[in-house]
Amino acid sequence: MASLRLPDRVRTERRRDPSRSCPAHRAWVRRHHCCVPGCRRLPIECAHVRTRTDGGTALKPSDRWCISLCRFHHAEQHRLGEPRFEQKHRICLTDLAEAFARRSPHYRKLDDPNLRKEL
Spans of all domains in the chain: 20-118
pLDDT tens string 25-58: 999 999 999 999 999 999 999 999 988 777 777 7
pLDDT tens string 74-114: 999 999 999 999 999 999 999 999 999 999 888 777 665 54
Q: Please, what's the largest Cα pairwise distance for the chain?
A: 51
H or E segment and range at residue 45: strand 44-48
pTM of the prediction? 0.73
DSSP letters, the chain, are ----PPPHHHHHHHHT-GGG--HHHHHHHHTSPPSSTT---S-EEEEE--TTSS-BTTBPPPGGGEEEEEHHHHHHHHHH-HHHHHHHHT--HHHHHHHHHHH-TTHHHHH-HHHHHH-
Q: What is the pLDDT of residue 20?
A: 74
Q: What is the pLDDT of residue 79?
A: 96
